[in-house]
């Protein structure tokens, strides 16, 4: 991802955005961020597209795991992708608990 794409509005952690584009970041305390500002905590940046990918992987795995008959369209996901998705969710829960 290009550095100019790493702005607050593209991050899945950015929340509480108002009509003027200001919101909050759980990693920058006591300061409002504007959605077009560059990310100040680039090591914590996760794009919304990447977040949707992780959630899709988890949904596919859950559908595969709970299915009595495994249909052709529902196959086991790549274990590496599943591990990354689980790591993302664990990190997300840790961040939410800190808020």
End-to-end alpha-carbon separation of the chain, Å? 27
Looking at the fold, whether 41 and 52 belong to one and the same domain comes out as: no
Looking at the fold, whether 40 and 70 belong to one and the same domain comes out as: no
Q: Where are the alpha helices (DSSP H) in 4-47?
A: none
Other CB atoms within a 10 A radius of the CB of residue 48 amount to 13
Looking at the fold, whether 7 and 41 belong to one and the same domain comes out as: yes
Looking at the fold, whether 31 and 52 belong to one and the same domain comes out as: no
Looking at the fold, whether 57 and 36 belong to one and the same domain comes out as: no
Phi, psi of 31 (to 5 degrees): -145, 130
Per the structure, the count of domains in the chain is 2
The residue among 45, 61, 76 that closes a domain is: 45
Looking at the fold, whether 29 and 58 belong to one and the same domain comes out as: no
Of 20-24, 25-29, 78-82, which gets the smallest average pLDDT? 25-29
pLDDT digits (tens, 9 = 90+) for 50-93: 889 999 999 888 888 777 665 556 667 888 999 999 888 888 77
Q: Domain range holding 88? A: 48-99
CATH number at residue 27: 2.20.70
pTM, rounded to two decimals: 0.69
Q: E strand or H helix at 34, and its extent?
A: strand 28-34
Looking at the fold, whether 92 and 54 belong to one and the same domain comes out as: yes
């Amino acid at each position: 991802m290009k550095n100019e794409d790493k702005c607050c509005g593209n991050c899945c952690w950015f929340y509480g955005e108002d009509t003027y584009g200001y919101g909050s970041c759980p990693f920058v305390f006591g300061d409002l961020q504007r959605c077009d500002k560059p990310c100040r905590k680039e090591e914590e940046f996760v794009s919304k597209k990447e977040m949707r990918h992780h959630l899709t992987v988890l949904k596919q795995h859950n559908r595969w795991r709970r299915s009595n008959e495994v249909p052709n369209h529902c196959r086991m996901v790549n274990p590496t992708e599943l591990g990354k998705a689980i790591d993302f969710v664990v990190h997300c829960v840790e961040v939410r608990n800190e808020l």
